[in-house]
């Protein structure tokens, strides 16, 4: 086999610039996730399920008002 | 020489992410409203027309029962004009803002923790996972239904099953990210991501097979059903795509500002 021998490339070590992305401590983030998470789920509940499976308050005003969004965002409506 | 402004130091904090998520989510809600109004509402109106045509064949007893239910306290009638404009907008804006904030907090958790993926790349990935886990997976098993489709007797079960699948899907997605991150030491980033994605698909597929199916379409026209469902998934896609794009831009700019600020301070300290 007369392949030309390829010398191993051995240049000076390439300096990879350190791409340092700061992180947020998960414990600090946890508080936000709990409080904002509850608020967000409450908002989603009123649009997606209220006065369908569970009623708070009684009646159909919330259901009727967000009715089209409930259907078009894919939530079970009636 | 450099203007150091200690009062306004840009920082990657949960609050900074959340505010950006709320902005992205509200804008996404407006975009989703536009898509839903333009593409979806004609089909909703058509389906309601079919529902009303069917109501003409009710027996006098059924009509009396409906009138009695409508006369109960707390029952209101909202015009179609309000439902398809302000009502629809309320729903898409509320859900968009809620999901935008949640996506931002999820991005806050992973930025800087996914190997060499940049802040922009991580944010875009989180929003993409959000669309798949929160919208696409539930849609595949329990697709959106237009008015006139669905048995009111089963609404509680269908709601519980739908949200059970959302919960499983979101937990599986979080699990996949955690596992994918652990695989980073042994595998290349793309390989680790593909293995984690495979695990996610396996879990949600099993959940989809185990959860009960819904067969309540009846004699509803197939063309209209498909057109409605297509407009629904396009609405969801537009919502998530807007969250993804706006949040990626806003988080990317914040990250650039934080990095530039850190470099300026390091330079100033070295002089
Ligand atoms: Zn409905």
Question: Which residue out of B44, B81, B98 would a mutagenesis test of the A interface target, given it has the greatest number of A Cβ atoms within 10 Å?
Answer: B98
A vs B: CB pairs below 8 A: 174
What's the confidence (pLDDT) of residue B7? 56
Cα gap B263→B259, rounded to integer Å:
6
Could you tell me the two tokens for A42?
Answer: 């409450």
Q: What angle do CA B232, B130, A68 make, to 5 degrees?
A: 25
**Cβ neighbours around B212 below 10 Å, total:** 11
What's the confidence (pLDDT) of residue B223? 97
What's the confidence (pLDDT) of residue A22? 83
What's the confidence (pLDDT) of residue B24? 98
What's the confidence (pLDDT) of residue A51? 81
In this structure, is residue B96 part of a structural domain? yes
Residue B161 near residue B212 (C-beta atoms within 8 A): yes
Ligand 1 centroid–CA A68 distance in Å is 7
In this structure, is residue B243 part of a structural domain? yes
Ligand 1 centroid–CA A77 distance in Å is 5
Could you tell me the two tokens for B46?
Answer: 């058509």
In this structure, is residue B187 part of a structural domain? no
What's the confidence (pLDDT) of residue A15? 47
Q: Which residue has the tokens 């470099």?
A: B263
Could you tell me the two tokens for B131?
Answer: 């669309």
What's the confidence (pLDDT) of residue A13? 52
Q: Do B118 and A21 count as a contact with CB atoms less than 8 A apart?
A: yes
Residues with pLDDT less than 70, chain B: 1-8
In this structure, is residue B194 part of a structural domain? no
Q: What is the 3-state secondary structure (H, E, C) of B73-121?
A: CCCCCCCHHHHHHHHHHHHHHHHHHHHHHHHHHHHHHHCCCCCCCCHHH
Q: Do B83 and A22 count as a contact with CB atoms less than 8 A apart?
A: no
In this structure, is residue B251 part of a structural domain? yes
Minimal C-alpha gap between B35 and chain A (Å): 10
Q: Do A72 and B84 count as a contact with CB atoms less than 8 A apart?
A: no
Q: Do B232 and A26 count as a contact with CB atoms less than 8 A apart?
A: no
Residue A48 near residue B68 (C-beta atoms within 8 A): no
In the DSSP assignment, the letter for residue B136 is: I
In this structure, is residue B174 part of a structural domain? no
ipTM of the complex: 0.91
Cα gap B271→B44, rounded to integer Å:
67
Cα gap A23→A10, rounded to integer Å:
35
The residues with which A54 forms a beta bridge, in sequence order, are: A50
Q: Which residue, B58, B64, B232, B38, is CA-closest to B147? A: B232
pTM of the model: 0.90
What's the confidence (pLDDT) of residue A54? 77
CA-based R_g, chain B, Å = 23
Total count of domains within chain B: 1
Reported as a single tens digit per residue, the pLDDT across B228-269 is 999 999 999 999 999 999 999 999 999 999 999 888 888 998
In this structure, is residue B121 part of a structural domain? yes
Could you tell me the two tokens for B230?
Answer: 């297509």
In this structure, is residue B95 part of a structural domain? yes
- Using the Cα atoms of residue B256, residue B262, residue B265 and residue B267 in order, give the sign of their dihedral: negative
Domain span including residue B116: 14-149+217-270
Minimal C-alpha gap between A3 and chain B (Å): 32
């Amino acid at each position: 086999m007369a392949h030309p021998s390829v010398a191993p490339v051995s240049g000076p070590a390439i300096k990879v610039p350190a791409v340092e992305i700061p992180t947020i401590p998960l414990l600090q983030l946890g508080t936000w996730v709990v409080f904002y998470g509850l608020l967000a789920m409450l908002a989603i509940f009123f649009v997606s399920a209220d006065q369908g499976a569970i009623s708070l308050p009684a009646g159909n005003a919330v259901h009727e008002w967000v009715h089209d969004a409930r259907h078009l965002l894919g939530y079970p409506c009636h | 020489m450099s203007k150091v402004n200690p009062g306004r130091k840009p920082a990657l904090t949960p609050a900074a992410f959340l505010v950006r998520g709320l902005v992205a989510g509200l804008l996404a809600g407006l975009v989703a409203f536009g898509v839903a109004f333009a593409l979806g509402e004609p089909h909703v109106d058509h389906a309601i027309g079919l529902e009303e045509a069917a109501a003409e064949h009710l027996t006098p007893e059924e009509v009396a029962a409906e009138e009695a239910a409508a006369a109960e306290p707390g029952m209101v009638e909202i015009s179609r004009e309000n439902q398809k404009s302000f009502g629809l907008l309320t729903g898409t804006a509320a859900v968009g803002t809620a999901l935008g904030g949640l996506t931002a907090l999820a991005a806050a958790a992973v930025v800087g923790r996914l190997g060499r993926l940049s802040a922009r790349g991580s944010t875009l990935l989180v929003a993409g996972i959000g669309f798949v886990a929160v919208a696409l997976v539930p849609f595949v098993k329990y697709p959106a239904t237009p008015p006139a489709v669905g048995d009111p007797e089963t609404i509680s079960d269908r709601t519980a099953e739908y949200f059970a699948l959302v919960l499983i899907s979101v937990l599986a997605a979080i699990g996949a990210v955690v596992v994918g991150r652990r695989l980073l030491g042994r595998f290349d980033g793309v390989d680790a991501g593909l293995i984690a994605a495979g695990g996610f698909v396996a879990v949600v597929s099993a959940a989809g097979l185990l959860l009960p199916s819904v067969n309540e379409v009846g004699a509803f026209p197939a063309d209209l059903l498909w057109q409605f469902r297509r407009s629904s998934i396009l609405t969801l896609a537009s919502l998530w795509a807007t969250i993804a794009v706006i949040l990626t831009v806003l988080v990317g700019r914040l990250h650039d500002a934080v990095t530039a600020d850190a470099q300026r301070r390091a330079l100033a300290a070295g002089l």
